[in-house]
């Protein structure tokens, strides 16, 4: 099954209405996304805890790395640059951190507040090569804005 972003948007709107706790929103979004698409092998958030460091937040899938510095890996690149990282082959990405040996491709989006402050990143890994494209980047970015207001 492949995600239908407009349907997930409706579901997330209903589930998150009136909720402002960031961790609760992250947990709900990670769960809904993870179970909406067979390509999603690991789905979750890494939170900006200051000092140029990300810490694993709510997620679905196998264990994640506990911490990721902004200077390393795909998640670190998204946090450092504020840009979506669309990686068709993680083994070709300089400095990739292998939290799971099954990951073949990855998409990471920065999660920003309405004021542009980094809250963390949304990280989705796939065990399939080149699993993500620009339509995923656009759909996921819309969902992040919807749920977190950034």
Any idea what the CATH number is for the domain that residue 20 is in? 3.30.450.40
Look at the chain and report how many structural domains it folds into.
1
Domain carrying residue 132: 5-148
CA distances from 24 to 8, 12, 93, 115 (A): 17, 12, 31, 20
- DSSP H/E element including 23: helix 22-34
CA distances from 139 to 9, 33, 88, 145 (A): 9, 11, 17, 10
Q: What is the pLDDT of residue 101?
A: 73
pLDDT at 23 over 80: yes
CA distance 123 to 45: 6
Alpha carbon dihedral 11, 12, 15, 18, in 10-degree steps, equals -140
Residues in the chain, how many? 150
Percent of the chain with pLDDT over 90: 85
Q: What is the pLDDT of residue 114?
A: 86
């Amino acid at each position: 099954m492949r995600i239908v972003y407009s349907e997930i948007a409706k579901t997330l709107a209903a589930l998150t209405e009136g909720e402002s706790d960031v961790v609760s929103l992250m947990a709900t979004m990670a769960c809904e996304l993870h179970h909406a698409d067979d390509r999603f092998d690991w789905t979750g958030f890494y939170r900006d805890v200051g000092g140029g460091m990300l810490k694993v937040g709510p997620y679905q899938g196998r264990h994640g790395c506990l911490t990721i510095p902004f200077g390393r890996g795909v998640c670190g690149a998204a946090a450092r640059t504020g840009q979506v990282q669309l990686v068709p082959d993680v083994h070709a990405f300089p400095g990739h951190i292998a939290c799971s040996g099954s990951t073949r491709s990855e998409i990471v989006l920065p999660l920003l507040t309405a004021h542009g402050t980094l809250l963390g990143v949304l990280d989705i890994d796939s065990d399939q090569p080149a699993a993500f494209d620009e339509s995923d980047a656009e759909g996921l970015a819309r969902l992040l804005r919807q749920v977190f207001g950034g």
